[in-house]
Amino acid sequence: MAETAITAVLIFVALQITTQSRIIEGTSMFPTLTNGERMLVNRFVFARVDSGPLSVLGGDDGYLFHGPVSGDIIIFHPPSGSNTDFVKRVIGGPGDVVDIRAGYVYLNGERLNEPYLTQVTNAQSGTYPKTVPAGQYFVMGDNRRVSNDSRAWGFVNAGDVVGRAWVGYWPVPKFRIFG
């Protein structure tokens, strides 16, 4: 009986440390994610070890495993200081060149294949192309007409990334695992 209780507690603690449940608020990721949809966030996949005794395990970029890559759906603390975390798709990472022209997004000179989009992409503001600085990411919502994203306020700092979308679990007919 004690072994079962200890095992249950350890599993509970491990899940609390590595995952987080989120409810999607708004339509900036439509049609991929819809308002009110629930998902689990993998907080462990982008674990950072910039300093301390575990820093020898991290790569040059400070991540234990790897950082976000183009196409990942990430959850992050917004640069606006809002208490509500944002959910967006990574377009480019450190050193990448992001360009928006003629309604399409280009990464390092190649047009991105974005089958989840239902409309063209406008630059909104600023000049392009933009080179993503070290330790930062360029992100956009899938519903580009209404998304408040890097086109409006710039890059996301790596330290503000909470995790990656892992499993959409509610409503049940929309259950899926994000790649």
89 close to 75: Cβ distance less than 8 angstroms: no
Could you tell me the two tokens for 61? 């970029």
Annotation marks residue 88 as catalytic: yes
Q: How far apart are CA 37 and CA 168, in angstroms?
A: 7
Q: How many CA atoms lie within 13 A of 65 on its CB side?
A: 10
Residue type, 18: T
Backbone angles phi, psi at 12, to 5 degrees: -60, -45
Q: How many CA atoms lie within 13 A of 174 on its CB side?
A: 13
Q: How many CA atoms lie within 13 A of 149 on its CB side?
A: 28
Annotation marks residue 174 as catalytic: no
Which one from 21, 51, 88, 147 is the annotated catalytic residue? 88
Could you tell me the two tokens for 114? 């974005």
Residues tagged active-site? 28, 88
